Structure 1
């Protein structure tokens, strides 16, 4: 049986009106040192975001969210931050910001497969369940 390893994660939020402290969860960043894994997945619910802020600049928000995924992946097109170590990139990704794109507090967990844990967190924290049938 594969061994469990620890990981740290944070939820990526879109905060269209910082002063109102309303947000939409839009992604997850997960780091597992033991398995050399850093991943960021984003799925923006445009309808929910527009409900909070009808005039939001969706293309700009989506570009900033995509940048988080590029930095997590590293390599070509990720800029100077993308050339840092996995640990350094994770800490950069979860650093506090006062902009429209923010990251919640860092939490910990354990898993066997960090990519699967990232997907489960995305399901639980970002994706909205279908409304119950009438």
Structure 2
């Protein structure tokens, strides 16, 4: 029998106009403490974002998402936060923010295959 792993995930959202609180799901982050697993993936639907705000800075969004990825993967280019333990990085990235990139509250689940579960959630919630 395969072992079930407890995981947490959060949906990455872009909020083109923060004051309106409207968002578009653009990515997913998943964390499993026992497996020391932290993965992030995103997709930028430029046309959809521009429907909310034609002047939204897509290039800055790409830079910011790249920072999220570097922190998530623990790369030193991600700055001091990237040196935190995996759980601390996940918690920092999912902390409540009032910026144009926000995350959902973390949700939990069990999986015997974290990669397959990530891919399934990404398809359902992002694409």
Indicate the TM-score class for this superposition, using the shorter chain for normalisation: over 0.9
Q: TM-score, normalised by structure 2?
A: 0.95
2:46 matched to which residue of 1? 46
Structure 2 gaps, min length 5: none
Q: What CA deviation, in whole Å up to 9, does each residue of 1:72-128 have, x standing for no partner?
A: 10133221111100010010010000010111111011111222222211111010x
* Structure 1: 4+ residue segments shifted above 4 A: none
Structure 1 gaps, min length 5: 128-134
Q: What CA deviation, in whole Å up to 9, does each residue of 1:43-75 have, x standing for no partner?
A: 111111111111111000111112111111013
Pairwise mapping of residues 1-134 of structure 1 onto structure 2 (< 5 A)? 1-127=1-127
Q: TM-score, normalised by structure 1?
A: 0.90
1:42·1:69 contact (CA, 8 Å) conserved in 2?
A: no
1:42·1:66 contact (CA, 8 Å) conserved in 2?
A: no
SS in 2 for 1:77: helix
CA distance in structure 1 between the partners assigned to 2:16 and 2:55 by the alignment: 9
CA distance in structure 2 between the partners assigned to 1:33 and 1:16 by the alignment: 32
Number of aligned positions between the proteins? 127
